[in-house]
Amino acid sequence: MKSLLAVVSSFLATRTSRSNLLALIKLLAFFFGLIAVFSICFHYLMEHEGRQHSWITGVYWTLTVMSTLGFGDITFHTDLGRLFSLVVLITGVVFLLMLLPFTFIEFFYAPWMKAQAQAQAPRELPPETRDHVLLTRYGAVTKHLIKLLKKHRHPYYILAPTLAEAMELRDQNLPVVLGELNDPETYRRLRIDQAAMVVTTRTDVINTNVTFTVRETAGKIPIVATATSESARDAMELAGATRVLCLDFMMGQALARRVIDRDASAHRIGNLEGLHIAEASAGGTTLVGRKIADTGLRGDSGVSVVGLWDHGHLKPAGPESEISANTILVLAGTREQIDRYNEQMACTEQDESRVVIVGSGRVGRATAKALDERKIEWKMIEKIPERVRDPSRAVIGDAAELDIIVQSGMRESSSVIITTHDDDLNIFLTILYRRLRPNLQIICRCTNELNVSTLHRAGADLVMSYASMGANSIFNELRDSHTLLLAEGVNIFPVPVPASLAGQTIGESAIRAKTGCTVIAVEVDGQRTINPAPTTTLTAGAKMLLVGTLDAEENFLKRFVRNSDKA
């Protein structure tokens, strides 16, 4: 009964529905009036033929003729009566078989079904809703973000501007609300003053409108928006966005940072609260063939090896880990320590690095710009000539054709960066390039996170996920933390020492064995110890920096933090 009332209320909520219902009532009144007139005429025409019938019989005859049933038990014998029968028959065909069904469906049934669907897609959240995240689109980035929100038990709702979109999301068992994106009343109904964040990932124009509308409604709520250009970012910031993510630019920067120079220098890929993270190729250095404990890196430069890249997978670095010619070291230390490492290891091989970029879209152009900042030579392959900005540094053609590959100089290049948004094409090119150059460093962009493992199997050394990068950046903004994304699904994140671990040493806690996370630094009273020894005691109030996958982070929170909260 409550559901029926909701449908009726939704149906009568608009002026159009009320007008349609009134038109249908008028049509039905006219139809019943015709029945009454025809019944009266039937009565008088039968008397003209010398026969008497009751008024009920007149109604009965009128309905059988108008509905084309025509039982034939009551008929006229005169031409006048038969002509009247034809008029009643034609009128019935028009009304009962054509006009009335069409009117009923168009003005009543279809709006009723629409109202029933709208009742299933709510336009308002309960008053007690709070600390929720509002999303304006369900796409690649927000799909990955929803996984993070679910893991960390953050409530969220997707705002759909059309009923069709709302029903599609509802069929996927997603929490959806229906409303106009640029209507302040929509956000009031969604308890915007009690929300934790608004995330808008639609087009630049819509994102700007959403940002302006939300900021007008709630002055302090964090708003994260995505932009595809510098001008769009400026507009969103002026509209009131807390953080604007140019994901194409961020992806290009991240891809370019992963290029390893042949001089074995360590290249910074991030800075987390003063702790610099860098990557360096071990090939051509004196480190090849030695165990980490025997390298003396920590004593000579102060840097610590916190991980080793092996075919796209980050492995924890232990004292007995052996370094090969293809090993990429993940280093942690201060800026000065990274500089000292470069003084020791740089220029071990004088050949100049060259990179081939496949695709000159926004990501490809951002990658080229980042490589210019690092003074690394590059050549670009592009199939569509209109996209090329610098023809002197581009090869026009299919990146899978051998002649184009040769013209690009890929045979002499140290790395290739595949930046197209087509994952299937990226997989195909990765397989091809790996077969042509087994020692080539292949760095690849991935749009759909489901294809990350496929690209690794195809031979990519590093894969950067568009969805993962965007989702991690948004989630970091929500948590007000500074998690550093090393690569797809691998993060460095800070956590306070849980009460359940206070007083234990790192070795006794068995954090790596139980969760998959590795402690790379411990900070006590502002004093940071990088790559602490297993005998380091974890004290209450201290902070740890951990490296691990998203699953490893979740395991750590489940095993230690939440148990500590329960205690």
Tell whether 505 is covered by a domain: yes
Same domain, yes or no: 341 and 390: no
User: Is pLDDT larger for residue 95 or for residue 323?
Assistant: 323
Contact assessment for residue 246 and residue 223, using Cβ atoms and an 8 Å cutoff:
no
Cα separation, 61 vs 76, whole angstroms? 11
Q: Average pLDDT of 269-284?
A: 76
What is the per-residue DSSP string for 232-289? HHHHHHHHT-SEEE-HHHHHHHHHHHTPPPTT---EEEEEETTEEEEEEE-TTSTTTT
Tell whether 258 is covered by a domain: no
Same domain, yes or no: 158 and 198: yes
**Could you read off the pLDDT of 209-248 as tens digits, one per residue?**
999 999 999 988 999 999 999 899 999 999 999 999 999 9
Domain edge (last residue) among 327, 345, 363: 345
Model pLDDT, residue 488: 54
Instruction: Among 31-35, 314-318, 396-400, name the one with the lowest average pLDDT.
Output: 314-318
Contact assessment for residue 278 and residue 270, using Cβ atoms and an 8 Å cutoff:
no
Average model confidence (pLDDT) across the chain: 84
Same domain, yes or no: 31 and 54: yes
Q: Average pLDDT of 308-329?
A: 75
Model pLDDT, residue 565: 47
User: Is pLDDT larger for residue 324 or for residue 312?
Assistant: 324
Q: Strand 328-333 and strand 354-358: pairing?
A: unpaired
Q: Average pLDDT of 273-281?
A: 79
Tell whether 474 is covered by a domain: no
pLDDT band at 27 (very low <50, low <70, confident <90, very high): confident
User: Is pLDDT larger for residue 303 or for residue 566?
Assistant: 303
We report the CATH number of the domain holding residue 59 as: 1.10.287.70
User: Is pLDDT larger for residue 18 or for residue 527?
Assistant: 527
Tell whether 417 is covered by a domain: yes
**Could you read off the pLDDT of 60-109 as tens digits, one per residue?**
998 888 888 878 888 888 888 889 989 998 888 887 777 767 776 766 66
Contact assessment for residue 515 and residue 544, using Cβ atoms and an 8 Å cutoff:
no
DSSP state of 560: I
We report the CATH number of the domain holding residue 275 as: 3.30.70.1450
Residue 348 has pLDDT above 60, yes or no: no
Tell whether 338 is covered by a domain: yes
Same domain, yes or no: 49 and 70: yes
Domain edge (last residue) among 186, 218, 245: 245
Tell whether 480 is covered by a domain: no
Same domain, yes or no: 104 and 137: no
Same domain, yes or no: 138 and 240: yes
pLDDT band at 566 (very low <50, low <70, confident <90, very high): very low
Domain edge (last residue) among 188, 217, 245: 245
Number of structural domains (the chain) is 5
Cα separation, 8 vs 17, whole angstroms? 11
Nearest to 107 by CA among 23, 220, 193: 23
Model pLDDT, residue 95: 77
pTM across the whole model = 0.68
Same domain, yes or no: 288 and 235: no
Same domain, yes or no: 7 and 73: yes
Same domain, yes or no: 379 and 455: yes
Domain that holds residue 512: 489-566
Structure tokens at 288: 């090849």
**Which residue type occupies 533?**
A
Q: What percent of the chain has pLDDT over 90?
A: 32
Cα separation, 483 vs 176, whole angstroms? 29
Same domain, yes or no: 278 and 328: yes
Tell whether 330 is covered by a domain: yes
Nearest to 163 by CA among 203, 230, 199, 116: 116
Contact assessment for residue 432 and residue 451, using Cβ atoms and an 8 Å cutoff:
no
We report the CATH number of the domain holding residue 182 as: 3.40.50.720
Model pLDDT, residue 7: 45
Same domain, yes or no: 109 and 55: yes
**Which residue type occupies 177?**
V
Instruction: Among 92-101, 297-306, 376-385, 501-510, name the one with the lowest average pLDDT.
Output: 92-101
Contact assessment for residue 414 and residue 420, using Cβ atoms and an 8 Å cutoff:
no
Same domain, yes or no: 238 and 154: yes
Structure tokens at 301: 């430069």
Torsion 225-226-232-233 (CA) sign: positive
Tell whether 79 is covered by a domain: yes
**Could you read off the pLDDT of 458-467 as tens digits, one per residue?**
999 888 888 8
